[in-house]
Amino acid sequence: MMPRDIGILGYGETRHVKRTERTQFSFFAEAGRKALESAGLDKSDIDGIAVSSFFLAPDNAVTLCEQFGLSVSWAWQFTAGSAGPVAGVIDALHAIDTGRANVVLCLAGDVYSVARHYRLMENFNHSLYNYAAPHGFGGPNGLFGIIQRKYMETYGLERAQLGRIAVAQRQCAMHNENAVFRVPLTLEEYLDARIIADPIRLYDCVLPCAGADAVVLGALDRIDAPKRVRVLSGHERHNHLPEEPCPLSGGWETFRDRMWNEASFGPRDMHFVQAYDDYPIMVAIQLEDLGFCEKGEAGPFLDAHDLTWRGDLPLDTNGGQLSAGQAGAGGGLMSVVEATRQLRREAGGRQVAGCERGVVAGYGMVGYGHGLSASAVVVERGG
Amino acid sequence: MADDARYPRPLVDADNRAMLEAWREGRLVLQRCAECGRVASYPRPLCPHCWSERLGFEAASGRGRIVAWSLVHRPNHESFFAEAPIVLAEIALPEGTNVIARVVAEPESVRSGRPVEIVSEPERYPLPTFRLAGEGEG
Ligand SMILES: [Zn+2]
């Protein structure tokens, strides 16, 4: 169970940019300063750190403290790709609950780019290096192309149904000044886009970019009630379905009943979904695994809902990674930042009216065929 | 035609040496557990099903069936660019495991469910690679 008197006190994020001269430390510094200001706390309040980044090496959570002049009693560093930052929030809340720290700064991000993406994927882990890269695998695009085709042929999903995700999220991104893509996207443009790894096309893919996200966690009574965001429940799962290279589920289904029970809410009570959108097909699978619809029903479910911030199922209201860009591991924390912004009613032109609670999911660590890690939290407006 | 010597190659280690050495002779071998009888998708230091260390390699039929596939227009590594698009597939092997592998074929001919067989060109391909086989031979 999650502690109910501890939660998210503030958030910060940098603009996502395709090219930069700035250092990784600089992006973390900006996101961290903004999060601290949003929480109304002082640098001296921070005594715990959780950091998620693919390119931080040779640095780490502790040397980051040296860079930032922080002395902490708890330091955490991620695993699990972009399921990691959400898991880090869960771990940090437990660390605070058990007295390991009082205020934890969670940071995630990378100075990411298309070129760095290909280099990272070539040697992401042993199984990909040894048994996928020598086949000319195309990185995750090739692997998720297999999963998407398998799903489409198994359940009759059509690309136009997945396109509803990309198009709706682009409408949200037009109200997100930090997003890399802010021009309208039509369903026709989605359907006719350049083929990357058929059936995956250009607008099924995220654009690697540079940026960072941050949240500050601590006792909720440190800030005014309307600014508090409580984490009602949260879980993670790794290597679900061992030895199955291309499953049509992502692992969320292993903990979803427990997560909803602990939150005392269900999917229909959610006012938004901040899903992990490395590909629209994984958003579809995620909605099923989280219990929004039955397995195989994602296509009709997507058709039946308005996925924009004004709709009946607001999805990735910052534009998601598909439109805002993927700042490496920042993609896993960007959704927590957006959920916090929405619940504090600070989302500007894309504000989900009257939202009280939502679900945030992470996913990542692509191994031999698919993402090995899934995570999710249910969050609620404080008070 | 790309310079095939520049394809990325698997690192040989104590766990996968038998599989990679067999492939250098054009043979597909799979790691099977003597304890539970199951096959691993790629070589391990222990059986991923039951954790037994009683592992051995055995000759596979070299046949399989495409479960699903993608057509990779942008391979990860530049050594494949001249040959793109590349057919990447999940292949079900009758020995009881599914693997990810390249299928050398005209993309128009590739369908999920089609039988495939090993291409015995280990001097060219760094890992066991497949091609389409006739119906009934899978
Ligand atoms: Zn075994």
Q: Closest Cα partner for B55 from B42, B73, B68?
A: B42
Confidence of residue B138 (pLDDT cuts 50, 70, 90): very low
- Whether A200 sits inside 8 A of B70 (CB atoms) is yes
Do A33 and A119 sit in the same domain of this protein?
no
The residue-averaged pLDDT of B13-39 equals 97
- Go through A306-323 and write b for each residue having 16 or more CB atoms within 10 A of its CB, e for each that does not: ebbbeeebbbbbbbbbbb
CB contacts of B10 in chain A (<8 Å) are 129-131, 134
- A50: domain CATH number? 3.40.47.10
Domain that holds residue A36: 6-112+210-225
Residue A147: closest CA among A245, A251, A252, A237 = A245
Give, to the nearest 10 degrees, the angle between helix A159-173 and helix A280-289: 100
In this predicted complex, what is the ipTM?
0.95
Separation of alpha carbons A105 and A75, rounded Å: 10
Closest by Cα among A99, A106, A100, A103 to A77: A106
> Does A314 lie at the interface with B, CB-CB under 8 angstroms?
no
Residue B29 domain flag = yes
DSSP state of A315: B
For residue A332, give the nearest of A119, A28, A31, A106 by alpha carbon. A106
Q: Cβ contact (<8 Å) for A196 and B112?
A: no
Same domain as A254, residue A107: no
- Please tell me the total count of domains within chain B: 1
Residue A198, both tokens: 């058929």
Q: Are residues A363 and A242 in the same domain?
A: yes
Number of domains in chain A: 2
Q: Are A368 and A133 in contact (CB under 8 A)?
A: no
Residue A281 lies in a domain: yes
Q: Are residues A17 and A91 in the same domain?
A: yes
Count contacts between A and B (CB, < 8 Å). 140
Task: Name the 3-class secondary structure at A77.
Answer: strand
Query: Would A341 be classed as within a structural domain?
Result: yes
Angle between helices A24-39 and A61-68 (to 10 degrees): 70
- Looking at the structure, tell me whether residues A160 and A199 fall in a common domain: yes
Instruction: Say which of B41, B70, B89 has its CB closest to residue A368.
Output: B41
Query: In this structure, are A274 and A324 located in the same domain?
Result: yes
The residue type at A117: H
| Residues A362, A108: Cα–Cα separation, whole Å | 13
Q: What percent of chain A has pLDDT over 90?
A: 97
Q: How far apart are CA A225 and CA B13, in angstroms?
A: 57
Residue A146 near chain B (CB below 8 Å): yes
pLDDT of residue A141: 97
DSSP 3-state helix, strand, coil percentages of chain A (rounded to 5)?
45, 20, 35
Please choose, from the candidates B101, B89, B88, the residue with its C-alpha nearest in 3D space to the C-alpha of residue B60. Answer: B101
Q: Pick from A15, A51, A20: which is nearest to A214 by CA?
A: A51
Question: What's the rounded Cα separation, in Å, for the pair A126 and A134?
Answer: 12
Which residue on chain B is closest to A115 by alpha carbon? B76
User: Rounded to a whole number, what is the distance in Å from the CA of A80 to chain B's nearest CA?
Assistant: 19
Q: Please judge whether B40 and A243 are an interchain contact, meaning their C-beta atoms are less than 8 angstroms apart.
A: yes
Distances (CA, A) of B42 to A152, A293, B25, B81: 27, 34, 18, 26
Residues of chain B found within 8 Å of residue A147, distances taken between Cβ atoms: 68
B70:A133 CB<8 A: no
pLDDT, one tens digit per residue, over A358-377 is 999 999 999 999 999 999 99
Q: What is the dihedral of CA B12, B18, B19, B20, to 10 degrees?
A: 40
Q: Is B67 a member of any domain?
A: yes
pLDDT band at residue B1 under the 50/70/90 scheme: very low
Give the Å distance between the CA of B42 and the centre of ligand 1.
13
**Do A36 and A101 share a domain, yes or no?**
yes
Residue-level pLDDT at B6: 83
- Whether omega before B85 lies within 30 degrees of 0, making that bond cis, reads yes
> A224-234 pLDDT, tens per residue?
999 999 999 99
Residue A203 lies in a domain: yes
Question: Does A275 share its domain with A190?
Answer: yes
Q: What is the pLDDT of residue A334?
A: 98
Same domain? For A179 and A103 the reply is no
Question: Binning pLDDT at 50, 70 and 90, where does residue A208 land?
Answer: very high
Residue A1, in any domain of the structure: no
Q: Give B71's contacts in chain A (Cβ within 8 Å).
A: 145, 195, 197-198
Q: What is the mean pLDDT of residues A287-295?
A: 98
Domain final residue pick, A225, A252, A280: A225
Q: DSSP character for B93?
A: E
Asked, for residue B137, whether it belongs to a domain, the answer is: no
The answer to whether residues B77 and A345 touch, using CB atoms and an 8 Å cutoff, is no
Minimal CA separation from B76 to chain A, in Å? 4
A261: helix, strand or coil: helix
**Who's near A10: CB < 8 A, 6+ residues apart?**
A35, A36, A37, A38, A39, A40, A41, A215, A216, A223, A227, A340
Reported as type and span, the H/E element at residue A380 is strand A371-381
Mean pLDDT (chain A, rounded): 97
pLDDT in tens, A95-144: 999 999 999 999 999 999 999 999 899 889 999 999 999 999 999 999 99
Residues A104 and A186 in one domain: no
Tell me the residue range of the domain where B93 lies: 10-132
B50: closest chain A residue by CA? A242
Average pLDDT for A287-316? 98
Helix (H) or strand (E) holding A288: helix A280-289
Å from A299 to nearest chain B CA?
A: 19
Contact check, Cβ <8 Å, B77/A122: yes
Take residue A351 and report the two structure tokens written for it.
């504000």
What number of other Cβ atoms are within 10 A of residue A65's Cβ? 17
* Domain termination site, one of A198, A225, A252: A225
pLDDT at residue A26, rounded to an integer = 98
Higher pLDDT, A217 or A118: A217
- Do A218 and A199 fall into the same domain? no
A93 domain residue, yes or no = yes
pLDDT tens, residue by residue, A272-286: 999 999 999 999 999
Tell me: pLDDT of B136 over 60.
no
Residue A330 DSSP symbol: G
Strands A48-52 and A104-111: parallel
Q: Looking at chain A, which residue has its C-alpha nearest residue B75?
A: A138
| Tokens matching residue A201 | 């096309």
Mean pLDDT of chain B: 94
Mark which of A179, A197, A225 sits at the end of a domain: A225
Residue B5: its pLDDT value, please?
53
Res. B2 pLDDT band, cuts 50 70 90: very low
What are the chain A neighbours of B89 within 8 Å (beta carbons)?
146
pLDDT confidence of residue B3: 47
Same domain, A249 and A215: no
Distance CA B113, CA B135 (A): 10
A200 touches chain B (CB under 8 A): yes
Q: Is residue B3 part of a domain?
A: no
The answer, for A207 touching chain B at a CB cutoff of 8 Å, is no
Beta carbons within 8 Å of A188's beta carbon, 6+ residues apart: none
* Helix A280-289 and helix A139-155, axial crossing angle in degrees, nearest 10: 50
- B138, part of any domain: no
Residue linked to tokens 């990357």: A196
- Asked whether residue B4 is domain-assigned, the answer is no
Q: Give every strand in the sheet of A104-111, ordered side by side.
A: A74-77, A48-52, A104-111, A210-219, A6-13, A229-238, A371-381, A357-366, A273-274
- Residues whose CB is less than 8 angstroms from the CB of residue B21 and which lie 6 or more positions away in sequence, other chains included: none
pTM: 0.97
Mean pLDDT value across residues A6-14: 98
State the pLDDT at residue B135. 72
pLDDT tens track for B110-132? 999 999 999 989 999 999 999 99
Determine whether the interchain pair B70/A369 forms a contact, defined as Cβ–Cβ distance below 8 Å: no
Using the Cβ of A246 and the Cβ atoms of chain B, whether some distance falls under 8 Å is answered with yes
Whether residue A208 has a cis bond before it, omega within 30° of 0: no
DSSP letter, residue A13: E
